[in-house]
Amino acid sequence: MTNAEFVTALRAHLPTVGGFAPRLVQPNVRIGSSVPNFIFEAASGQTLTLRKLMGRPAVLVFWKSTSQASIEAICDLVEICANSGRRAPVVLAINDGEPLETVKRASEGIKALIVPDPDRAISTAFGINLWPTSIYLDATGLITDICYGRFCGGMQKTSTTAAAD
């Protein structure tokens, strides 16, 4: 296909009205606010709610199996938290919109609490559209930070959060 043919095809199939309006993608949650509660299945087969984990800091990591940065971010946080002492944050790895079998395969060997979210109910409630996104919670359930991408100062955030409790 030549450039001229490509341009002709675009003109024929793209709408002629409207336009592109770039916007900043932001989560539905803010630093200092509490997070939406949700139910998830723990490794032991029992169901828990996020609120039941309160009393301890936590990090919610929204991830996809197709994002290597997501998987590495979870592993990094698990390692950092494991070395943070007795008040270490709990790491919840919330898989965003993938089938359960895919989540099981991709999370083999990951030592975080894996939370499948095949219908994107949790991700939608939080307004997540970028992976990985990490949301740091203090022991009372308030958001202390929101971080996008693998490298976002996780060492400082988790040790600060753990020290504050």
pTM of this prediction? 0.78
Per residue in 107-148, pLDDT (tens digit) is 999 999 999 999 999 999 999 989 999 999 999 999 999 999
In this predicted structure, what is the pLDDT of residue 110? 93
Task: Answer whether 76's CB lies under 8 Å from 46's CB.
Answer: no
Domains in the chain with CATH codes? 28-164 (3.40.30.10)
CA–CA separation, 74 and 77 (whole Å): 5
Burial label, 72 (beta-carbon count in 10 A; 0-12, 13-18, 19+): middle
Q: Which segment, 16-20, 24-28, 54-58, 60-64, is predicted with the most confidence on average?
A: 60-64
In this predicted structure, what is the pLDDT of residue 25? 67
Placement of tokens 């946080």 in the chain? 77
Query: Please, which residues bridge with residue 127 across strands?
Result: none
- Comparison of pLDDT for 145 and 20, the residue scoring more: 145
CA–CA separation, 103 and 28 (whole Å): 24
CA–CA separation, 27 and 151 (whole Å): 19
What's the rounded mean pLDDT across residues 18-41? 82
Per residue in 47-96, pLDDT (tens digit) is 999 999 889 999 999 999 999 999 999 999 999 988 877 788 999 999 99
What value, to the nearest 5°, has the Cα angle with vertex 68 and ends 35 and 142? 15
Task: Answer whether 61's CB lies under 8 Å from 92's CB.
Answer: yes
In this predicted structure, what is the pLDDT of residue 102? 95
Pairing label, strands 113-117, 90-96: parallel
What's the rounded mean pLDDT across residues 28-47? 88
Phi-psi region of 153 (alpha: psi -120 to 50; beta: other; left: phi over 0): left
What's the rounded mean pLDDT across residues 15-26? 68
